[in-house]
Structure 1
Amino acid sequence: MNPGLLKGADALLAGDFATLSDLVRAYAEERPDHPAVIDAEGTLTYGQLDARADRVAAALQRDGAKHSVSIVSSSRNDYVTVYLGALRAGLAVAPLAPSSLPEQIVAMAQDADAEHLFLDGDNEQALRAVLAELPPRRIRLDTPQFEQWLAPEGAKPAPVETTPAMPFNIIYSSGTTGTPKGIVQSHGMRWLHMQRANLYGYDRHAVTLLSTPLYSNTTLVSLFPTLAGGGTAVLMAKFDVVKYLELAQTYRVTHTMLVPVQYQRVMAHPDFDRYDLSAFRAKFCTSAPFNAALKADILKRWPGKLTEYYGMTEGGGTCILVADEFPDKLHTVGRPAEGHDIRLIGEDGKPVKPGEIGEIVGHSGAIMTNYHKQPGKTAEAEWYDETGKRFIRTGDMGRFDADGFMQLMDRRKDMIISGGFNIYPSDLEAILKQHAAVFDVAVVGVASEQWGETPVAFVVLRPGSSVSAPELLLWANAKLGKMQRISAIEFRDALPRSAIGKVLKRELRDEYGKAAVST
């Protein structure tokens, strides 16, 4: 179709730049009664979402907000309302993880220069001891206070000219490796995510089921394209396998984003095959290592395409594996996305030779502006090639195969150096997962007087299985190289994970170290 004949949201998406606010407004005018977001309490149509976002924006301008807002809440419709309203008022949004320590939430809200804090009842109670240190304007989303704070019905904010360089949000890192850093993403970066919505079928008929939290970029890279395409987002405040499958069937869900541990739990449910999931067009996964055998099981039993993203919230470079198109590459994370330049560098900062392992660095149009107020950390995350081209360092180790597919090894910080040899925990985990009794596993390096470091495996067994730690250790080490051998196996009921499914290996390492000292 001639781009000049397009109207409304279609014309915006075909242009050089538009905002999420513009697109929601266009859909509100085109079909105001179509559901935009759905939670356990009800539905917000595009017309309602647009009007309520106007009231949020007008209230923020009335209050004199100039910088940002923070949100500490479970997923709910008005979380999206506040997000959109803040953007419409020209502010950045700093969504914060409720699972963070109260002191961390204070530090992140202060770092973001947040003038308003929106929160729900559970989190207000959890933060009671530090309320005096939080932004002075605190609004409860799940009480009449929010309705009272909103500008009157029909209110319109003063227009704000939004440019691609303006900050869209500040996403704080999980903090699993230390103090969270504020990752500043621009409107231009988010525009690239939204503009590609049609490539993945995010259209006016899309229904996306989201069960990961809204503070996570994992969730947002599916939420925003859903709204940009005029579809419907169904929000789960807390992941539950049965509830997830029921919602997917009831709403005829077409799209979803899940992290690997969620896929693992869904596929392991005994009633999985009883649910009608035939409406699915696309399933996405990111944020943590995705086992090849699990991918194969999903391809066999769950309709629709399966796409794995490998990348960082900081942006830079993304690899994409369309699993159903490359069933022989399930052990990889795919090839660099179109227009993404991904390279591997050694400890000396120079590119490694073809086929060698190196740290992954990436460049693309979707790249963070900086770490908020941390120029030193920003500089540490950057790598420049000989032409001055800016890349973001991932801290992950990988190698390209002969076909250009990326095989992840491990986080550089998780690599085990034992007796001078590099051991990649993912290799050991892959072997252990081959055992019929193993449901989940994480391998970490612990201090060793003899070797410097030695691998220890933490294993979750499948229900009803029976194998002893010595038996499993003997089985695994028989399949591993001499320098890879695991020194100990410990059973756990579950592995500690972040809210988006990343194994908290530092907790396992610290726990094991403390136990060794006490004995």
Structure 2
Amino acid sequence: MTSTDTLQNAIDQDFGLIADLIRIHAIERPESLALRDSECTLTYDSLNELMDRVASALQREGLGTGDAIAICAASSVNYATVFLGALRAGVAVAPLAPGSTPESLARMQRDAQARLLFADVTTADVIGSPEGSGIPRIALDGSGIGRAFDDWLAPVGSTPDAVALAPPSPFNIIYSSGTTGEPKGIVQGHGMRWSHVKRGARYEYGPATVTLLSTPLYSNTTLVVFFPTIAFGGQVILMPKFDVTGYLRLADANRVTHTMLVPVQYQRLMASPAFDTHDLSSFQYKFSTSAPFGASLKADVLKRWPGGLVEFYGMTEGGGTCILEAHLHPDKLHTVGRPAEGSDIRLIDDAGLEVAHGGDGEVVGSSAGMMVGYHRQPEKTREAEWFAPDGKRFIRTGDVGRFDADGFLTLFDRKKDMIISGGFNIYPSDLEAVLRGHPAVADVTVVGVPSELWGETPVGYVVRREGDATDPAELLAWTNAQVGKTQRLASVQLIDELPRSAIGKVLKRELRERHGRS
């Protein structure tokens, strides 16, 4: 049996483990490149050995199935190795955003019940002093923020104990919360990630794949491409931070075949005078998700950038995916595509009843790729679920859409108020809670407005207390000093009274329209 047959037989199984596929690559293709960053390169043989050492070290520390670790660091080979090694030990990974505030980060660590924190010098300000951390720290880069990674690893040649995992077994915990309120940890199972692997064959992942990733490893956006690349034996090049010049240089020099980018990154790349000076003919597939992707921008990418363009629409919580293969459907660029194979996507009204075909409704979805639930928050989990009359479980998206006659889904608005800025989710309620803490603020709302730079950006509308003369610039600076850098307000606008409906709901659409006229 050839190595290709061995891999295909493993992937053809209804359920399997990504860590097991890496062991197959290490045996069959030990010298093939697996991971690379600006300072380090790993072959599959070396990656497999390091995963064993990570898994053995975790088991030495008493961690096993049902336990979790946290990672808060810039994307790197060591980051990816720890993630993969934890999976081999059956330990769930909570990848945390370095842009969080220290208070938010601490809450997420506690919520995940993380037993260890892996970090690097780039997140030293966020994670705070070791004395107050409460859990042991390991420094991925050997800096002084914790025990050196190389010292923490189990000895060369260590072999971890085998673990038994099922599709619902926790794979990772992705956090969707902002700076305030109770964080929501989205528990994704091994079965959900396996469904992403099985989908990968359609997009020509294989040993010749070279995937360039400039979005962070803590983001589900990145992981839906990272894991299929590794599962099929390709090479992943990690950029710790996106920049147009560096991205184009790496893509050209390494004959990159696959990538994941959020729409604002596509916008910046296509607007660069250097774009057309690079040879990007090696690209087979480019992916996008996480934020609205304008039809005109998709058209520009199709015209000037070789290879297929695929947009995924879904939630980190899972529940179903729509896929737009834009290169095959250039007349449907205004849509997010059709439901993926195995995804049951429906529309419901405010009463929870399915709408007739051609009507508008909230998008709900069901598939093998669904979260187990919100970590330790059963009430929040129930709020996110919708059950069909036959008992089938769906996840609510909060988005309003309509299917056309060909089965393509067009989105109109979000029922939820979430703002997507540069591919990151921002919850207005989090920012509103911060602003309300200022003594000058009598009333406040935050809306997302269009931004050429970020896609969307948050703007605060504030009603000051009577007689108060606080300057909007002061309110802006005060708020942005307390939130994560991905959540900062673009501006604060003063308003005499917030527009409200007859039942007292703030009419955010009016504020967006007002901003567009200003």
Residue 406 of structure 2: which of 393, 403, 408 is its match?
403
Q: Calculate the aligned-residue CA RMSD, in Å.
A: 3.1
**Residues 139-288 of structure 1: pairs in structure 2 closer than 5 A:** 139-143=138-142, 145-175=148-178, 179-288=182-291
Residue of structure 2 aligned with 1:20, choices 15, 18, 21: 18
Q: Secondary structure at the match of 1:512?
A: strand
Identify the residue that residue 437 of structure 1 maps to in structure 2: none
CA distance in 1, matches of 2:117, 2:453: 42
CA distance in 2, matches of 1:6, 1:47: 17
Contact kept in structure 2, 1:317 and 1:341, CA below 8 Å: yes
> Structure 1 residues 213, 286: CA separation in 2 closer, same or farther (over 3 Å shift)?
same
Q: 1 CA distance for matches of 2:179 and 2:328?
A: 34
Give the Cα–Cα distance (whole angstroms) in 1 for the partners of residues 242 and 3 of structure 2. Answer: 43
Displacement, 1:460? 4.7
Which residue of 1 is the match for residue 468 of structure 2? none
User: AA paired with 2:35?
Assistant: V
TM-superposed CA distance for 1:222, in Å, is 0.2
Aligned partner of residue 492 in structure 2, secondary structure:
helix
Distance in 2 separating the partners of 1:284 and 1:394: 21
CA gap of 1:177–1:306, structure 2 versus 1, over 3 A, is farther
> Which residue identity is paired with 1:272?
F
Shift of 1:124: 2.3
Contact 1:116 1:135 in 2 (8 A): no
Could you say which residue in structure 2 is the equivalent of 1:473? none
Separation (CA, whole Å) in 2 of partners of 1:79 and 1:355: 46
Give a deviation string over 1:112-171, Cα, whole Å, max 9, x none.
Answer: 111110000121233225x44534210000017110111111111111122222111111
Aligned to 2:80: 80
User: 2:136 maps to which residue?
Assistant: 137
Kindly indicate whether the alpha-carbon contact (under 8 Å) linking 2:55 and 2:89 is maintained by their aligned counterparts in 1: yes
In the aligned structure 2, how far is the partner of 1:23 from the partner of 1:377? 34
Q: Which residue of 1 is the match for residue 325 of structure 2?
A: 322
State the partner residue of 1:102: 102
Q: Is 1:511–2:492 an aligned residue pair? A: yes
Deviation at 1:414, TM superposition (A): 3.9
Name the structure 2 match of 1:46.
44
SS of equivalent to 1:192: helix
- Structure 2 counterpart of 1:64, one-letter code: G
The offset of 1:17, in angstroms, is 1.9
Q: What SS class does the counterpart of residue 413 from structure 1 fall into? A: coil
| In structure 2, C-alpha distance between the alignment counterparts of 1:163 and 1:456, rounded to whole Å | 40
Structure 1 residues 288, 174: CA separation in 2 closer, same or farther (over 3 Å shift)? farther
Question: Contact between 1:383 and 1:393, CA under 8 Å: does it hold in 2?
Answer: yes
Corresponding residue SS for 1:209: strand
- Deviation per CA, 1:334-353, whole angstroms, max 9, x where unpaired? 11111211111111111122
| Residues 95 and 460 (structure 1), Cα distance of their counterparts in 2 relative to 1, 3 Å cut | closer
Structure 2 unaligned blocks of 5 or more: 421-425, 433-443, 455-479, 499-518
Q: 1:31 aligns with which of 29, 32, 37?
A: 29
Other structure's SS at 2:141 match:
coil
Q: Indicate conservation of the 8 Å contact 1:321/1:333, yes or no.
A: yes
Q: What are the superposed Cα offsets for residues 234-258 of structure 1, whole Å, 9 maximum, x if unpaired?
A: 0000000010000000110000000
1:89 aligns with 2:92: no
- Per-residue CA deviation, residues 213-249 of structure 1 (Å, 9 max, x unaligned), is 0000000000000001100000000000010000000
Contact 1:8 1:30 in 2 (8 A): no
Matched position secondary structure for 2:493: helix
Aligned AA (1:112): A
Deviates more, 1:228-237 or 1:187-196: 187-196
* Alpha carbons 2:101, 2:126 under 8 Å: kept: no
The residue identity in structure 2 corresponding to 1:19 is L
Aligned letter for 1:35? Answer: L
CA distance in 2, matches of 1:274, 1:26: 39
- Look up the equivalent residue of 1:153 and give its one-letter code: V
d(CA) in 2 for partners of 1:236, 1:263: 16
Question: Do 1:207 and 1:233's aligned partners in 2 also have CA atoms closer than 8 Å?
Answer: yes
Q: Gapped runs of 5+ residues in structure 1?
A: 416-424, 427-441, 447-451, 463-495
